[in-house]
Each structure stands twice: as structure tokens, then as C-alpha cells.
A and B are shown apart, each in its own frame.
Chain A
Amino acid sequence: MMRFTAVVGLFPDLPETELTAWVQRGWVRPEGTEPDWIFGDIDVARVRLIHDFRHAMAVSEDTMPLVLSLLDQVYTLRGQLRAIAHAVEGQPEAVRAAIIAAIRG
């Protein structure tokens, strides 16, 4: 859990206005309301990621919503896939074998 100023402090080249804009656009969704935002671990990790996209990879601001939308879809699917994999894992050997055979077509 970190406050807004602590998150800004993590990045020497991240102005407060920029992080504020990210939150306002919904790219990062900390708990609480401005200016008492509380950033959880996942939010901080996301700020780092967006920081990488914008500063290290120079992804343009206009492209960011597309990038984040695709990214979130991938992680959503990964979560669902993990749930399926876990469910399959809990099945008897014969059932697992049948499912694997069906997937391999």
C-alpha cells in the first residue's frame, strides 16, 4: 500500500501530473479518491509497466488504451486458463488423458 507521493517518488522522471492523468484515464485504478489514492502492489506494478511503455518504449499516449486493453484481455484469459488447468489437474488420470487427447485433436 502506497500513497500517491510515494509512488511518484519511485520514478525520478515521472511528474505528478502524468501519474494523475493515468489514474484519471483509468489506466491505473488505485483505491480511494483524489488526492488520497492508495496504490496496492498490483497498482504500483502497473504504474511501472505503463512507465516502461511510455518512457522506455516511447509508446504514444494515443496508442496506450489499445495496448492496455489487449494486455488486460491477455491477463484475463490467462487467469481463466489457469482456472481450467487447475480444474483439469484435479480430475482422475483417465479424465485428464481424455481432455489432453481432445485438445491435441
Chain B
Amino acid sequence: MKDPYETLGVQRTADEAAIRAAYRKLAKKHHPDVNPGKPDAAARFGEISSAHELLSDKEKRARFDRGEIDAEGHEVHDPRKYYRDTKGQERYASADGGAGFSQEDLEAFMAQAFGRAGQRSDWGATGRPMRGRDMQYSLTVSFVDAASGTTSRLSLPDGKTLDVRIPPGTEDGHVLRLRGQGGPGFNGAPAGDALIEITVAPDPRFHRDGDDIVTDIPVSLQEAVLGTSLEVPTIHGAVRVAVPPGSGTGTRLRLRGKGIRHGHQFVQLQVVIPPGDEPELAEFLKQWTPRQKVNPREGS
């Protein structure tokens, strides 16, 4: 049997006139004879009638309000709801409860004592909404994946997996936050977040400079002087690059749009003098007079 105040839709403080008015309105609406097609109208009308019967009787209403009788007018044998049986005792939790042994301490203790399972402990028993905890993970991705973006699968300690989207240009040490992927919340509170720290593995072929990529490529003396075509790695795959004749160490070739997002890749040439004895080269250089006199240390 429902609460008669609820049945009539009136406040507990409603006076007799208000109760009578509410009853008349509902009775008209739910009378079985005006609702021949609704089989449950009789039951509803019965509820409304008994609610009115109880609330229109001053004495019965007072006894109901005191909890001595129930909505059907029956004696309640033990109307008393004891403190120990009532939810919400934590509202009165002692501030120095258990000598500084707070709920947070308890949580930490259980996490330590029982491992991750401790965190699953049902705080529902306390009735307090509590957001799930944030979980920390780390994920290592290759330089190329971090630069161009990828989706990486993270295996969690509990056997679940999490697909983590690594956005293009993710930097080493960056922490990605996945909302709601952490520990479960209690009593309707939201789950915590997964915090994933990204480690970017270095790649000997590439250096990062903002959104630009810098690559050092060694070339032979002949290639530098005569020009050539080279295959160069980029984060988007290998590309062929024309090295113009007369290039030298420090010449930077720009590969447009081959960097991170809208950045570029720069190829820095390193001219390698042939190792070992090259008497013909030495002889030639002795005879050779450059057409343009240049002091490479000028201005340095």
C-alpha cells in the first residue's frame, strides 16, 4: 500500500480542504465507471478512496503520521526504526573516527592488502557517492607512431584491454586522460579516468624540432659535388630526394609536408670524405684552384 499523501499528491502539511479537493479531482478522473476501458482503474480508485478515508479522519491521520498505523490502517507492531537499522550513519561519523583511521586510509590499506581487488570493495555499503579512482598506466610508442599518430592497445593488469588513440605529434612524457576508463564509481558517482603516460622511443633516424623533423643523411664527396638522388626515410614512409650538384655539409633540403601535422622534414647533408689513401684526389686538389675563393671560416 502506497503512502496516502503520495496517492493523493498532497503535502504532509495539507489541510482538510486541500485533501478533500485532491481526492475529488482524482476520484473524478479515476472512477471505474468513467474508465470502462481501463481494468486497473478500479484498483487505483480503491487506493485513492482508502487514502482519503485515512487522511480525512483526524485521529487516523495523526496515528499514521506518528507511524503507529500503516497506510491500510493496520497497527504497526514496531513503528520504531532504530538508529542502528537506519542508513546514513556515516553522516555522524566521528571526525576523529577510529583515531585518524579515515576511509581513505582504509582504502589504501585494502589496496595494499588485497591488491587491485581491494579497490573493488563495495563502498556502496556506506551509501556515499564516490567517484572511481584514476588509474595510472604507461605506454611506449615508437617515434614514428607518436609523430604520425596511431591507435595502440594497452593491456590492463586485470586482463582487459584499452585502445588508446595517440594523436599525431604526441610528445615524450605526455599524459593522455581517458575519461571514465579508471576505477568504477560507487553509488551513482562516475568512474575515474585512465591516465596514460606516453614514452616516445627515440629513433636514430629522426630528431624532432617542434612539428618539423630533422634527418642527417651522409653523402659521399662525389654525390655532394655532382648531385644525386637519394632514398630518405620520413615518418610517412621513404621518399626519393634529389640532391642538387654542389651540395655540402649543412645543406638543408626541405621535404614539404613530410613533418608532423603541417610541419616539414629537413634533410641535413653530411659530406663524408673517402677514408684511406686517395692519392689521385690529393694530387688533383693540389693542382686545383677554385673559381670562387671562399674562406669557410669567414664570419665564424
Contact = CB atoms under 8 A, between A and B. Distances in A.
Interface in B97-122: 97-98, 101, 103, 106, 110, 114, 117-118, 120-122
A7 to B, nearest CB: 11
Contacts of B103: 80
B122 A79 contact: no
Nearest to A88: B114
Contacts of A34: none
Contact of A29 (B13, B66, B86, B91): B91
Contact of B98 (A42, A44, A73): A73
A76 B66 contact: no
Given A82-B125, A83-B106, A84-B110, A73 B82 contact: no
B88 interface: yes
Contact of A90 (B65, B97, B117): B117
Contact of A80 (B13, B106, B114): B106
Contacts of A29: 91-92
Contacts of A87: 110, 114, 117-118, 120-122
Interface of A is mostly: helix
**Chain B, interface residues (CB within 8 Å), range:** 35 or more
B126 A48 contact: no
B80 interface: yes
Contacts, number: 100
Given A9-B65, A87-B121, A90-B120, A79 B89 contact: yes
26 contacts: A6-B12, A29-B91, A41-B86, A42-B83, A42-B89, A46-B83, A68-B92, A69-B94, A72-B92, A72-B93, A72-B94, A73-B98, A75-B84, A76-B93, A76-B94, A76-B97, A79-B126, A80-B98, A80-B101, A80-B106, A83-B110, A83-B122, A84-B110, A87-B122, A90-B120, A95-B114
B87 interface: yes
A75 B89 contact: yes
Nearest to A75: B89
A87 B110 CA distance: 8
A9 B118 CA distance: 45
B80 A48 contact: yes
B92 A75 contact: yes
A103 to B, nearest CB: 12
Interface string A64-105: 000011001101111110111011101100010000000000
A10 interface: yes
